[in-house]
Amino acid sequence: MPTVLVTGGAGFIGSNFVRHLLATDPTVAVVNFDALTYAGNLANLADLAGHPRYTFIKGDVTDRDHVRAALQRGVTDIIHFAAESHVDRSIQDSGPFVRTNVIGTQILLDAAREFKVNKYVQVSTDEVYGSLGATGFFTEETPLHPNSPYSASKAGADLLVQAYQHTFGLPAVITRCSNNYGPYQFPEKLIPLFVTNLLNDIPVPVYGDGQQVRDWIHVLDHCRGVEAAWRNGRPGEVYNFGGRCEMPNLELTKLLIRLLGKPESLIRYVEDRLGHDRRYAIDCAKAERELGWAPQVSFDAGLAETIAWYQTNAAWVATIKNKDYMSYYEKQYGSKL
């Protein structure tokens, strides 16, 4: 039985991935290795309690001994989601980003070599490519040009993965995806932050002129892409995933306001993010061609379902919006709202 070590499986994308994999493949076992930082939450996988093919280990990817012990449980493959993932937090303090995203990846790569895993998947981001002007797309050939401490740490990790593949023949693939949305996303990122604020008539902070463009993809489409890269990706290759759904932030903000039946007076234009990337857009033709993958969830349907999820899961949101979250929120937005 393939036994996949999924790191960061208690976070947003990781938890959706673990649930997806266990539900769609009865022959696979999952070991979820997660440090349960502010972003990790076992409630995201409460429905898997007692599942016979699921094991949870509370562990930090920067802890070499603990990672090695986890791999000794018959792990055959590694899919590495664990990361510090929020750009604004990386601007406040880049230390945890370098530790987890760079050192943590190096430790996992060493373990992957030692235990001779069949496949190692590095879950990366389109942000490593930097920022686009009004036209063009990121392809897998686009040079890395990360602009934020977050994307720099993810690019550093990607380079290590490529070096281990080249030097040691580690069977590794890298995936780079655009902005995800969907259930269980921590409400510091744009869509869940704005939805949960608007549901409570709290103003929403639009950075700068709001004309920055992001490409939105439903988290399950990303999960299907990571799964395809794990099963069929060629070692040494990079695969981009995107939703073919570009939208300026202000247009998205107004759409959310309309869908929730709230007034536009809840918009607050606040100081721009430092070094804010202007536009991301992904060319995912390679994944379509080589992996037979394509995004399936339309933005209209996915967004409606996501809003409904946050409406019916107010108790989940309430546990997230704890003291730690509020102190981050206060530091980030303070009196601006």
Residues 57-96 that bind ligand NAD (CB under 6 A): 60-62, 81-85
Kindly indicate which of the ranges 18-26, 54-62, 111-119, 249-257 contains the residues binding ligand NAD, using the contact rule CB under 6 A. 54-62
Kindly indicate which of the ranges 11-19, 133-141, 160-168, 261-269 contains the residues binding ligand NAD, using the contact rule CB under 6 A. 11-19
126 is catalytic: yes
Find the residue with minimal CB distance to ligand NAD.
11
271 is catalytic: no
For 186, the token pair is 């921590």
Contacts of residue 283, Cβ cutoff 8 Å, sequence gap at least 6: 137, 138, 139, 240, 242
Query: How big is the site for ligand NAD, counted in residues (CB under 6 A)?
Result: 30
Distance CA 204, CA 196 (A): 10
* Residue from 22, 67, 87, 174 binding ligand TYD (CB under 6 A): 87
* Residue from 14, 146, 187, 295 binding ligand NAD (CB under 6 A): 14
Please choose which of ligand TYD, ligand NAD, none residue 249 contacts, taking the beta carbon within 5 to 8 angstroms, the exact cut-off set by kind: ligand TYD
**Contact yes or no for 177/224 (Cβ under 8 A):** no
Distance CA 164, CA 199 (A): 46
Kindly indicate which of the ranges 52-60, 164-172, 205-213, 305-313 contains the residues binding ligand TYD, using the contact rule CB under 6 A. 205-213
| Whole-Å CA distances, 190 to 97, 182, 216, 263, 325 | 20, 12, 11, 18, 15
Distance CA 75, CA 115 (A): 8
177 binds ligand NAD (CB under 6 A): yes
SS3 73: coil
**Contact yes or no for 227/20 (Cβ under 8 A):** yes
Task: Name residue, tokens 């023949």.
Answer: 169
SS3 101: helix
190 binds ligand TYD (CB under 6 A): yes
| Cα 263 from chain centroid (whole Å) | 30
120 is catalytic: no
Binding site for ligand TYD (CB under 6 A): 87, 179, 189-190, 193, 205-207, 212, 214, 249, 273
Binding positions for ligand NAD, rule: CB under 6 A:
7-8, 10-14, 34-37, 39-40, 60-62, 81-85, 100, 104, 123, 125, 154, 177, 179-180, 186
Q: Which residues are catalytic?
A: 126-127, 150
